[in-house]
Amino acid sequence: MDELIRQALNTLRGMWQSRWLASAVAWLVGGIGVAVVLSLPDKYEATARVYVDTQSVLRPLMSGLAVAPDLEQQVAILSRTLISRPNVEKLIRMADLDLKIKTKEERERLIDELIGELKIGTTGRDNLYMIMYRDNTPDRSQRVVQSLMTIFVESGLGDKRKDTDQARKFIEEQIKIYEKKLADAEARLKEFKLKNLTVSGDMQDKGYLGNLSELLGKLNQAKLELREAENSREALKRQITGEEPVLLPESPGDIGQVAIPEIDQRIDAMKRNLDGLVQRYTDEHPDVVGTKRVIEQLEAQKRKEIQALKKSSGGAKATQLNANPIYQQLKLNLAEAEANIASLKVRVSEYESRYQNMRNYSKLAPEVEAEFAQLNRDYEVHKNNYQQLVSRRESASIGGELESTGGIAEFRVIDPPRVNPKPVAPNRMILLGVVLVISLGAGVFVSLLTSQLRPTIFDVRTLRDVSGLPVLGNVSMLASEARNARNRRGLIGFLVSLGGLIAAFAGAFAFLLLTARA
């Protein structure tokens, strides 16, 4: 620790010997610095504030009907991309900054300077933007800010209209393309249906296999009904031809042996109805009692007709009813049965023909069905895309009309371009302080450098360390009164020089303060 202190003291003593050189360097650097600071041109700042109002009443009202762009994002992107080379070139023409430009290099230099100096940003509130520019001339800075503000407003409105027109043009082109695609798909689908009319008809609703199964069920049902009708016809023939003759009963209890088809059918229907009612209700239920009463009335009516037949036939027990009303009724029933059988045969024949045709198409139907599904799918896709494009075209048209009215976003100038009457740069007070520090530091650095380049030995230990030889002794020097006086005058002169430097800077500070107040 003592060694470090000794070396520091030796260094300070060496620097003290170069104090006049340090003072001269400090004065020189300070003078140059003050001259440079005072010669710097003043910078005047022009500012303007613009508010972009995107909270329009029309936006929520037209939600879902018109295309509503994200205006906040668009304005933010516009503010960040406003200071571009094309806009700066336009600004130069608008502000008449190119009047003194002679060469292309000067123009490029001016563009680079404006890009570096122009500033636009938010003021801490949404959609409130501030435009700033500093220049040596107040009027020029104001014209630049005015021009940039005009470009900002016009770019916002123009870009919206341009985007809307481009979107509408693109949608119109896509609609024309899909109109052609839709017409081609409709033509292919129509041609396919005409070419495969029979098969395509069978493929509707349930598909080919479902229609084939349903047709087979109808065919079997028709065949069953045909067999039932044929059996009924044969029974009627047997009754008419005498194989099962109809005889009149000997007693009233044998009326069930005589067939009167009209009454018998009604009695059978009522008995079936009675069986269903008995399963659900008791014998005392009104519907059960009423049905029994109707059956008794029909049986009584049948007995009356049989008695009338017995009287007209003279009571013969085995007389066939070939010339009585019952026989005539049987003939009518037989004719109806024949007609029904003929109708059922036609139905069975038709079902058989359809079933055979569908069986013949069993190999062709899957391919036709797959092709039909593909064509129909393509048609539906083109149709949906076409309808969506038409809907979006209308939305784009409404959105364009809204933008043209100016009700979606509004640019309002809060503060017009204004120039601060006092220069905002450079800050000479701070610069002078920096120059003072630099000048003092330069003096200290020069004295230190000199002490290192031309070292001086002040004690025995340093001499021994430098020479590497033993020191036998040292001789002290006693300064005379004249030398001491000279040293005192040198110290006072150095302090006066240093004080004068500080006083000069203080005077410069005072001059700047008086100038700023004036």
397 within domain boundaries: no
Does residue 348 surpass a pLDDT of 60? Answer: yes
Position 264 pLDDT exceeds 70:
yes
Look at residue 320 in the predicted model and tell me its pLDDT: 45
User: CA torsion sign, 380 to 386 to 392 to 394?
Assistant: negative
pLDDT of residue 243: 42
Q: Phi and psi for 414 in degrees, rounded to 5?
A: -80, -50
Q: Tokens 């009104």 appear where?
A: 286
- Rounded to 5 degrees, φ, ψ at 391 are -65, -40
Residue 279 resides in a domain:
yes
* Mean pLDDT, rounded, for 371-394: 80
Nearest to 199 by CA among 353, 365, 352, 372: 365
Among residues 125, 124, 123, 119, the alpha carbon closest in space to that of 149 is found at 119
Question: What is the helix (H) or strand (E) element at residue 416, kind and residue range?
Answer: strand 410-419
DSSP letter for each residue of 328-346: HHHHHHHHHHHHHHHHHHH
Residue with tokens 């509408």: 168
The structural domain count of the chain equals 3
> Within this chain, do residues 333 and 411 fall inside the same structural domain, yes or no?
no
Q: Which is nearest to 153 in space by CA: 237, 12, 50? A: 50
* The pLDDT value given to residue 362: 63
Q: Is the peptide bond before 138 cis (omega within 30 degrees of 0)?
A: no
Task: Report the SS3 class of residue 447.
Answer: helix
What percent of the chain has pLDDT above 70? 76
The H or E element that residue 271 is part of is helix 261-280
Tell me the pLDDT band of 422, cut-offs 50, 70 and 90.
Answer: confident
Domain membership flag for residue 389: no
CA distance 411 to 58: 16
Kindly state whether residues 214 and 361 are assigned to the same domain: yes
* Residue 319: pLDDT over 60: no
Q: What value does the mean pLDDT take over residues 320-344?
A: 72
Give burial (CB, 10 Å; 0-12/13-18/19+) of 294.
middle
Q: Which of 160-169, 211-220, 303-312, 434-443: highest mean pLDDT?
A: 434-443
Encoded tokens for 147: 């021009």
Q: Judge contact between 516 and 422, C-beta under 8 A.
A: yes
Output the CA torsion sign for 459, 464, 466, 467: positive
pLDDT over 60 (residue 201):
no
Same domain, 217 and 361: yes
- For 116-176, the DSSP string reads HH-EEEE-SSTTEEEEEEEESSHHHHHHHHHHHHHHHHHHHHHHHHHHHHHHHHHHHHHHH
Cα–Cα distance between 209 and 493 in angstroms, integer? 123
Average pLDDT over the chain, rounded to an integer: 76
227 and 292 part of one domain: yes
Q: Is the model more confident about 219 or about 56? A: 219
Rounded Cα–Cα distance for residues 518 and 516 (Å):
5
User: In terms of domains, do 238 and 101 share one?
Assistant: no
- What per-residue confidence (pLDDT) applies to 28? 92
254 shares a domain with 152:
no
Phi/psi of residue 230, each to 5°?
Answer: -65, -40
Q: What's the mean pLDDT in 348-357?
A: 83
* Same domain for 369 and 221: yes
Report if residue 390 sits inside a domain: no
Q: Specify whether the CB–CB gap between 49 and 469 falls below 8 A.
A: no
Residues 57 and 22 in one domain: no
> Does residue 199 belong to any structural domain of this protein?
no
Q: Residues 61, 9: one domain?
A: no
Tell whether 9 is covered by a domain. Answer: yes
DSSP annotation string for 480-502: PHHHHHHHHHHHHHHHHHHHHHH
More reliable by pLDDT, 280 or 184: 184
pLDDT at 317: 39
> From residue 399, how far is each of 72, 81, 97, 164 by CA, in Å?
16, 25, 39, 8
Whether 391 is in a domain gets the answer no
Query: 12-21, 61-70, 125-134, 180-189: which has the minimum mean pLDDT?
Result: 61-70
Burial 277-293, CB ≥16 within 10 A → b, else e: beeeeeeeeeebeebbe
Q: Choose between 162 and 461: higher pLDDT.
A: 461
* Confidence check: pLDDT of 74 > 70: no
The answer on pLDDT for 103 being more than 50 is: yes
Q: Which range of residues forms the domain containing residue 15?
A: 2-40+426-473+480-517
User: Residue 96 falls within a domain, yes or no?
Assistant: yes
Please tell me the predicted confidence (pLDDT) of residue 11. 77
CB burial string 394-418: b at 16+ within 10 A, e below: ebbeebbebbeeeebbebeeeeebe
Which has more pLDDT, 158 or 130? Answer: 130
24 and 71, same structural domain? no
Domain match, 107 and 233 both: no
- Which range has highest mean pLDDT (28-37, 93-102, 460-469)? 28-37
Please tell me the distance from the alpha carbon of residue 50 to that of residue 5, in angstroms, as a whole number.
Answer: 65
**For residue 162, pLDDT beyond 70:** no
| Residue bearing the bigger pLDDT, 62 or 166 | 166
pLDDT score recorded for residue 322 = 47
Statement: the pTM of the whole predicted model exceeds 0.85: no
| Better pLDDT: 100 or 93 | 93
pLDDT digits (tens, 9 = 90+) for 224-253: 888 888 888 888 777 776 544 444 454 555
User: What average pLDDT does range 281-305 have in this prediction?
Assistant: 81
Looking at residue 438, its pLDDT comes to 92
Task: Over range 462-473, report the average pLDDT.
Answer: 76
Same domain as 442, residue 336: no
509-517: average pLDDT: 79
